[in-house]
Amino acid sequence: MNILLLNYEFPPIGGGAGKATYNLARELARLGHKVDVLTSKLKSQLDQENLDGFTVYRVMSWRKGIHDCGFRGALTYVLFAIFKFLQLTRKNQYDVTHYFFGLPTGFLSLLPGPQNKTPYFISLRGSDVPGYDKYNKSLEKVHRILAPLTRKIWRNAEQIIVVTNSLKQTALLTAPSQKFHVIPNGVESKFLKVLPSTNKKSNGLKLISVARLIERKGIHYILNALADLQDPDISLLIVGTGNFETQLKKICKDLSLEGVVTFYGFCNPQVLPELYAKYDVFILPSLAEAFGNVFAEAMACGLPVIGTNIGGIPDLVGKENGILTRPGDIDQIKHAIVRLKKSEMLRTQMQLANRKKIIEQYSWKRVANQYITIYQGENDI
């Protein structure tokens, strides 16, 4: 098949959806399909590049930053992508056009022209679904205004794919009669090649949190929990950057956590598996999470997980492999940390359960084959 994937984010730009686009493109190419990707460009990047068996085309996007798109970045990607999209679709006879994000990327499906004869598919990722992030008032306002366009883009799609059952239920509130297929993200094999280190402080607990540092990730609740616990044997490493980083550092200073919390900054994806392996527990009390790639990656490295019972996290995390808390509940976060600190046996049981779950259910080859089934019109998956 000849496949065009479109996403306004692609590594190193953006987060989980960009990684998913890269991994899906690579696996589809390995399965013998011809794959092109149309995405955003950093100033230092090439307009066109061959990567791992597929071709990436890039257009300008005036983003706030690598990990922060903003409305301007989303809009300018669509505007700059129009010409390249029409050029590619006229030059190549694509069998499938696949949009990551109904908005903004799916706007391109509304363009008139012969490319409309090609069936298009949409992967909904979270922020493009009304009601997903109720804490983001400006985004929800935009969704209310654009609701008619959203429904039209969804309605005209050949199929719509969501990453979790929770996101499916949220999407159904906007389009009750729409059919949605659930296909999760996969996990890169590099995360399964390492095991947690056994050379650890026996009485301590080393926590790691990996995320874009935005308020929605809930990291400030961890800081408040650690300040309440006042346990010198518990430490936290925060990996990532974002617009909430300055505020998090201020909270650490105000709570006198400088000796407890370390900010790592940006981490090269190739180094991340080894970094995970040095820690005992992954923790991220997100207020909204469509899938949560970092949860799956930490699980693959054998880390027990402390998360929240919202969005797609419960699809990944159950009693056998982690602890879920209510969003924003500092007392529950404290209880989860203390429980895992006290029981090395429990942590070991969760480690084994996590790696088993990822190996059996979340390989990218398995995910890519599910997409091929959808592309070919075999919907009973």
Q: Edge-to-edge, what's the strand order for the sheet holding 281-283?
A: 261-265, 234-239, 205-210, 281-283, 305-308, 322-325
Residue 381 has what pLDDT?
44
d(CA 6, CA 21): 8
Predicted confidence band of residue 198 (pLDDT cuts 50, 70, 90): low
Do 2-186+363-375 and 189-361 come out as alike in CATH topology? yes
Q: Which fold has domain 2-186+363-375?
A: Rossmann fold (3.40.50)
Task: State pLDDT tens for residues 82-120.
Answer: 999 999 999 999 999 999 999 999 999 999 988 889 999
Question: Tokens at residue 61, please?
Answer: 């996007």
Task: State pLDDT tens for residues 199-220.
Answer: 455 568 999 999 989 999 999 9
Domain ranges of the chain: 2-186+363-375, 189-361
Residue 16 has what pLDDT?
82
Q: What angle do CA 292, 209, 215 make, to 5 degrees?
A: 75
**C-alpha atoms less than 13 angstroms from C-alpha of 101 in its C-beta half-sphere:** 23
d(CA 254, CA 270): 34
Task: State pLDDT tens for residues 120-133.
Answer: 999 999 889 998 87
- Report the CATH number of the 189-361 domain: 3.40.50.2000
Instruction: List Cβ neighbours of 86 (8 Å cut-off, separation of 6 or more).
Output: 111, 113, 115
Query: Taking residues 262-289, what's their average pLDDT?
Result: 94
